[in-house]
Amino acid sequence: MKKKRITLLIALAYILSFNVHAQDANNPYVHCLVLDKTMSMTGHGGTDIWADVQNYCYEWIDGVPQSSIVLFFTFDRDLYGPQKFEINSDADKAKIKNAVRNVKVDGRHTWISSNLDKTIEYLNNNYPSSQYNRRIYLITDGKEEQPEANFSNVLRHYDSKRGDFDYLYYVDLRDMAPEKVKEELENTPGGGYGSGFPKFLTISPVVKTVNLLLGGSKSFEQHFIVSNDERFFQMSFDIKIDSVRKVGESNVIPNVTLTPSRNISQRNVTKLEDGKYKVTFTVDFINESMSECDIYVGLTGRNQGSNVITFEPAGFVIKARNKPAPPKPTVKTKNGLGWH
């Protein structure tokens, strides 16, 4: 397993005439900073890294998009906070930086599991995943000191009420986490681990299925939600066709191409607003007599310095059919309103 890791989450919101909606992607974002305040940060028993940690937090704050909510917790044996900030200007970000600057680093015990669990419970009670997209950044330089701590149970609690756009990042400043914890984070949906001072750029697929008519060249627009505009333009990713299969069969059918496919970055994306971008892809069906098929598309990233790009999930499906799928029936409620 790579120790320095960025979970890079791409949000692809696709809208066509088939009434594909991605309402969850438009929910407000809550960014939760959970910062270890034990004395080891300032060199008690080791090297003083507190100034570096503060600068790391300042950079993280600079990357939070406008119109977001930031919750700031600190912890040692207990959990403190949160302080709540609504981000509408640089002045609001300066308030969060001031809160980080004023942290008293005086804790004696590093209880990671219970305090992360309390953070998750606070979010579930006050910012449910049905109404908010939540991102937790746990930053610690220590190892678990809580007797009988069970990190596996905490991850199960997190996963039980996780929304599609919820993410948990464990920043292990001194590489103290056990291998089991690292592996569990890597294998938990929406979980990520990074050692040292990793830079996180989140990018995540919103819509899992794209509907297109079969044959010729077809274009579709994908929207991207990113957590940090500056880091997004420092990186690039590729898109590739993993396989093309007949409906109901496993055999692979060639003669389908997807453009663009490599080095997708500022060269071929259009910014819609802070944290939101779009790119138009073209699917070419070279064999026009092909049967109806499912095209499995994968998203891949290239490591760049200490940044390791991954995707959650790692792709989506294009359903190519000879004719549009029939519309879903309208369901009427008692007040006469309906939906499609």
172-206: per-residue pLDDT in tens?
999 999 999 999 998 888 888 888 888 766 676 66
- pLDDT value of position 262: 84
Torsion sign across C-alpha atoms 35, 37, 42, 43: negative
Does 202 fall in a domain?
A: no
CATH code for the domain of 232: 2.60.40
Number of folded domains that form the chain: 2
Q: What angle do CA 21, 297, 15 make, to 5 degrees?
A: 20
Identify whether residues 154 and 223 lie together within a single domain. no
Tell me the residue range of the domain where 219 lies.
209-321
Does 127 fall in a domain?
A: yes
Does 132 fall in a domain?
A: yes
> Could you tell me if 48 and 243 are in contact, meaning their C-beta atoms sit under 8 angstroms apart?
no
Does 303 fall in a domain?
A: yes
| Spatial CA neighbour of 183 closest among 172, 192, 174, 175 | 192
Identify whether residues 56 and 158 lie together within a single domain. yes
Identify whether residues 149 and 219 lie together within a single domain. no
Identify whether residues 236 and 315 lie together within a single domain. yes
- pLDDT value of position 14: 27
- pLDDT value of position 328: 55
Identify whether residues 131 and 219 lie together within a single domain. no
Mean pLDDT by 10 residues, the chain (340 residues): 36 26 66 96 90 94 88 97 95 97 95 97 96 93 92 95 87 93 88 83 71 87 74 78 79 80 82 81 76 82 61 77 62 40
Identify whether residues 65 and 156 lie together within a single domain. yes
The model's pTM:
0.70
Identify whether residues 48 and 156 lie together within a single domain. yes
- pLDDT value of position 23: 38
Distance CA 71, CA 134 (A): 10
Does 339 fall in a domain?
A: no
Identity of the residue numbered 205: P
> Could you tell me if 242 and 266 are in contact, meaning their C-beta atoms sit under 8 angstroms apart?
no
- pLDDT value of position 186: 82
